[in-house]
Amino acid sequence: MVKTRTSLDATQLNASNQTPYLDIESETEKDTKALILKGKAVVIIDPVTGRALGASDFLSKTSATFQHQTDATLSQANPVSTTLYNVLPLTNNVRLISISTEVTWGVTQPTPLDVVITIDGVSVIFTKTNPVSANGYECAFISPEASTQVMSSGGGYSGARAFLMEGRSVQVDVRITWAVTQPTPLVCRVKWAKR
């Protein structure tokens, strides 16, 4: 919840290095048709800190703009069946741009291959049943109403959207399920940005 105030002690404004903005209303005077401007200073107060917010809080690189980060990657040799391997640890203010994964197998086909995204405490599972060995799969909302999403192969989905998901706290894990653990890599790459 954001509150507005029409007055604030100048020392408090200067101490927090913030500037109020001017809210201007206009009306036409009936007899002279003159334009009358009415203005009032408005300061937005941060509901968490109680501090006055200025334009810099909304326009600075650190608070409003997502900055691209180095890809989070995992290459897990001999992945154990049903074990969640962390690719992107729990991080605040994250925008997920794309997630791709693959598993290479030689003897027993694993199923399923899962990417688990936890955003603000809620998990969404992207799954691929019977993944083809060494074939890349991409997380995409193909069926938005489903609780479990299907991963697609061949790519192309990330180019059709600005980003996959975003949240205040985000974590990405990957897992494979199979009958026999094999000496093969489980690979996952997360492209992401942070505010």
Instruction: Read off the pLDDT of residues 60-70 as tens digits, 9 standing for 90 and up.
Output: 444 568 899 99
Supply the mean pLDDT for the chain.
77
Query: Considering the domain 67-194 in this protein, what is its CATH number?
Result: 2.60.120
Q: Which of 169, 167, 132, 166 is nearest to 151 (CA)?
A: 132
For 120-143, write each residue's pLDDT tens digit: 999 989 999 989 999 999 988 766
Higher pLDDT pick, 128 / 44: 128
Closest CA to 176 of 189, 190, 166, 186: 186
pLDDT of amino acid 8: 45
In angstroms, the CA 22 to CA 114 distance is 52
Location of each CATH 2.60.120 domain in the chain:
67-194
> Lowest-pLDDT range, 2-16, 37-51, 130-144, 146-160?
2-16
> The pTM is what?
0.66
Mean pLDDT value of segment 158-184: 82
Backbone angles phi, psi at 179, to 5 degrees: -75, -35
Q: Which two tokens stand for residue 108?
A: 């027993």
Model pLDDT, residue 55: 53
Mean pLDDT value across residues 149-167: 70
Per-residue confidence (pLDDT) for residue 46, from 0 to 100: 66
Q: Indicate the residue type of 178.
A: W
CA-CA-CA-CA torsion for 49, 53, 58, 64, nearest 10 degrees?
-20
Question: Among 76-80, 84-88, 106-110, whose mean pLDDT is lowest?
Answer: 106-110
